[in-house]
Amino acid sequence: MQKGMYSALFGALSQEFRLNIIANNLANVNTVGFKREKTAFADVFTRFASDYVDPNTSLKPVVPWPEANLVSETRLTGNYVDFNQGALKLTGNSLDVAIEGEGFFKVQTPGGIRYTRNGSFARDPVSGNLVTAQGYPVLGEGGPIELPETGQIVINEKGQISVDGDIIGNLAVVTVTDLRSLKKEGENLLYIEGNKAQEAPLENALVKQGYLEDSNVQVVEEMVSMIDTLRTFESLQKAMTISQEEDQKAIRDVGTTR
């Protein structure tokens, strides 16, 4: 198999991965608090050097692949979450809350603590707790926040919750020491991967009652990326076809050599 086939193959797989990311972004353009994902590519020299134990002194590959494969593989480093702020939309609902600037709401799930920017909350009719759309308790500084059945709910800019003038709790708005450690889990929730980072209280959090944060997906930008990805994928497919035809021709020529 020619080196060009490896390059085109890994390139096509990378573009397929990128296309899936774009499709998921577009599917969540109207999801409250959704943060789009992007793919990242490294240049050949940087990734080639990082494939060695010590690029300055060692030429021993970490992975036991033929060198030709290693050099020609497309350098897709993965995907990451874009945490840029989405636009804030006025709803007037007293239990709709948005964070302006950095920070996350804390949520208790069966799998542990999770983080979200989706502030579309409600009162659970059974427990009385403030919960997400999925029914997960929203955490305050002392645990779940219990709301009375009736009363005027006011949430100030620091996240303090009061009902008819009586303070009943504070929303736990936190940040994470390394945003790159946050991974998506589904249901618009994030978790800290391994022990790569820790949460920290956000003293200057700005909370806005009666607002929700829109998705930060830019439809036009995503559509342009999708068209570019599809064209690149088609070009790589054509390159693989040409490489395969050349291999078949070489086999036929060898077979007829006397």
Predicted confidence (pLDDT) per residue in 186-220, tens digit = 899 999 988 777 898 888 889 999 999 999 999 99
Residue 149's contacts (CB-CB under 8 Å, 6 or more residues apart) are 123, 128
pLDDT per residue over 20-37, tens digit each?
999 999 999 999 999 999
Residue 235's contacts (CB-CB under 8 Å, 6 or more residues apart) are none
Could you tell me the residue ranges of all domains in the chain?
3-83+230-248, 88-213
Instruction: Enter the pTM of the model.
Output: 0.78
pLDDT tens track of the chain, all 258 residues? 556 676 777 778 888 889 999 999 999 999 999 999 998 776 554 455 455 445 444 444 444 444 444 444 556 667 889 999 999 999 999 999 999 999 999 999 999 999 999 999 999 999 999 999 999 999 998 899 999 999 999 999 999 999 999 999 999 999 998 898 999 998 999 999 887 778 988 888 899 999 999 999 999 999 999 999 999 889 888 888 877 777 777 777 776 655
Nearest in space to 71 (alpha carbons), one of 5, 9, 7: 7
| Residue ranges of E strands in 73-159 | 76-81, 88-90, 97-100, 104-109, 112-116, 122-123, 130-131, 139-140, 143-144, 153-155
Q: Within 10 A of 250 (CB to CB), how many other CB atoms are there?
A: 11
Return the amino acid letter for 206.
Answer: L
